C-alpha cells in the first residue's frame, strides 16, 4: 500500500542584526517587503492524468484491504454466533446432567440415606442379592458415565468461551482495519476528484482523451507482441455463464466495496460472475491472484481473470478477442476494454 504524502510546512526565521546599526537603517530593514515566494510551475495535463491515475490505484489497493477485512470480520461474526449457540446447547446439557444427578441423589435419600451397595450387603434374600448386584453394577457405570459426560461438557464450554474471546478480538482488529482502509479510500478518491474538478471543462475532455489514448497505446503494443496468435475463444460452460453475467453488468457504476446487483468494484464483479456460474472464488483481487490456479497467457480462455499491476490491485475478466470486461474505478461504469490496456501481472482460472 502506498504511503500517504504529508505536507511539509517550512518556517522561515528572519533575524535582524542591530549591532552598530542606526535607527534609520533599522526602520528601513523592518519596512522592506519580504521577497515573493517562487511560483510553482503549472502541471501539464499528462502529469495531472498520471497523478489522478496513481490516486485511484492507491484507492483500489485500499479497497482490497477493506474488502479482505470485511470478509474476515464476517467470518469471525459467524464463528462467534456458532460458538454462542454451542455454549447455549452446552449449558442446557449441563442443566440436564445436573437434573439427572439430583434425581439419583433424591432416590438415595428415599432409601433412607443408604447407598445401594449398603442395602444390597444387608439383605437376607439371595435372589434380591443377585438382582441388586446387577443393578448396582449398572448404576455405578451410569454414575461414572454421568460424571464423565459432565466433566467433558464443562471442558467444552471452557474451550468455546476461549474461542469466542479470540474471535471477538480478531473481529475488533478487522473492524479497525476496515475503518482505516475506508478513510484512506475516501481520502484518495476525494483528492483525485478535486484534481479533476479544478480543471476547466475543456481540460476534463482532453483528460479523458489522454486516458483513452494511453489505454489504446498500451493495448496496441500488447497485441503487437503476437500474444493473441493461436489463442482460442472456446471455453467451458461455466466460463461462458461467468462471461454472460459479467457482460450483462455493463453500464453499472463502480462503487468500492460493492458486490452488486446495482454496482460493483473490480473483484466484486469477478466474484459475482463466477458465483453465478456455481464456482465460489475469493473476494479480493489480491486473494484471487494468490489462491486461484495460474495459467499462461497463451492458454487463456474466456472467463479467466487477468490481474493487473504489481500489487494485484485490479482485476478483469477475459471475454475473448483480446478484451476484458471490468469495473474500472470511481466515476466510471462497468465496461469492455483492451485486455492489454493496463500493466498485466498474470492470469488465473477459477
- Active-site residue, selected from the candidate residues 6, 15, 294, 314: 314
- Active-site residue, selected from the candidate residues 6, 15, 294, 326: 326
Tell me how far apart the alpha carbons of residues 158 and 223 are, in angstroms, rounded to a whole number: 62
Distances (CA, A) of 211 to 200, 206, 215: 16, 9, 6
Tell me how far apart the alpha carbons of residues 342 and 350 are, in angstroms, rounded to a whole number: 21
At 2 the three-state DSSP class reads: coil
At 296 the three-state DSSP class reads: coil
Tell me how far apart the alpha carbons of residues 94 and 140 are, in angstroms, rounded to a whole number: 20
Q: Is 163 exposed, middle or buried (0-12, 13-18, 19+ CB in 10 A)?
A: middle
Q: Is residue 314 flagged as an active site residue?
A: yes
Q: Where are the alpha helices (DSSP H) in the chain?
A: 23-31, 45-110, 116-122, 126-197, 201-224, 237-248, 266-276, 285-291
Phi, psi for residue 38 in degrees, rounded to 5 = -65, 135
Active site residues: 266, 314, 326
Amino acid at each position: 500500500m502506498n504511503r500517504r504524502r504529508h505536507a511539509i510546512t517550512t518556517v522561515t526565521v528572519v533575524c535582524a542584526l542591530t549591532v552598530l546599526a542606526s535607527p534609520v537603517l533599522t526602520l528601513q530593514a523592518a519596512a522592506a517587503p519580504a521577497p515573493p515566494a517562487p511560483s510553482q510551475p503549472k502541471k501539464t495535463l499528462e502529469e495531472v492524468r498520471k497523478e489522478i491515475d496513481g490516486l485511484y490505484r492507491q484507492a483500489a489497493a485500499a479497497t482490497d484491504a477493506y474488502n479482505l477485512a470485511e470478509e474476515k470480520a464476517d467470518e469471525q461474526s459467524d464463528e462467534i454466533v456458532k460458538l454462542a449457540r454451542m455454549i447455549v446447547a452446552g449449558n442446557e446439557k449441563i442443566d440436564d446432567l445436573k437434573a439427572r444427578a439430583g434425581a439419583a441423589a433424591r432416590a438415595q435419600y428415599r432409601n433412607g440415606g443408604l447407598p445401594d451397595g449398603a442395602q444390597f450387603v444387608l439383605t437376607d434374600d439371595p435372589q434380591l442379592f443377585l438382582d441388586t448386584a446387577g443393578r448396582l453394577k449398572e448404576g455405578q457405570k451410569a454414575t461414572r458415565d454421568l460424571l464423565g459426560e459432565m466433566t467433558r461438557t464443562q471442558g467444552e464450554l471452557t474451550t468455546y468461551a476461549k474461542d469466542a474471546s479470540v474471535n471477538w478480538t480478531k473481529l475488533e482488529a478487522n473492524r479497525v482495519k476496515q475503518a482505516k482502509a475506508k478513510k484512506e479510500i475516501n481520502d484518495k478518491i476525494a483528492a483525485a476528484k478535486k484534481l479533476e474538478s479544478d480543471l476547466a471543462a475543456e481540460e476534463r475532455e482532453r483528460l479523458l482523451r489522454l486516458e483513452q489514448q494511453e489505454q489504446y497505446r498500451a493495448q496496441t503494443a500488447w497485441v503487437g507482441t503476437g500474444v493473441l496468435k493461436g489463442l482460442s475463444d472456446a471455453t467451458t460452460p461455466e466460463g461462458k455463464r461467468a462471461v454472460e453475467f459479467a457482460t450483462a453488468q455493463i453500464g453499472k457504476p463502480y462503487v468500492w466495496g460493492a458486490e452488486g446487483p446495482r454496482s460493483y468494484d473490480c473483484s466484486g464483479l469477478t466474484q459475482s460472475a463466477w458465483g453465478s456460474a456455481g464456482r465460489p472464488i475469493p473476494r479480493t483481487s489480491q486473494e484471487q491472484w494468490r489462491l486461484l490456479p495460474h495459467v499462461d497467457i497463451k492458454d487463456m480462455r474466456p472467463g479467466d481473470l487477468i490481474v493487473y499491476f504489481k500489487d494485484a490491485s485490479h482485476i478483469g475478466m477475459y471475454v475473448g478477442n483480446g478484451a476484458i470486461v471490468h469495473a474500472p474505478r470511481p466515476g466510471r461504469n462497468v465496461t469492455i476494454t483492451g485486455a492489454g490496456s493496463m500493466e498485466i501481472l498474470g492470469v488465473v482460472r477459477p
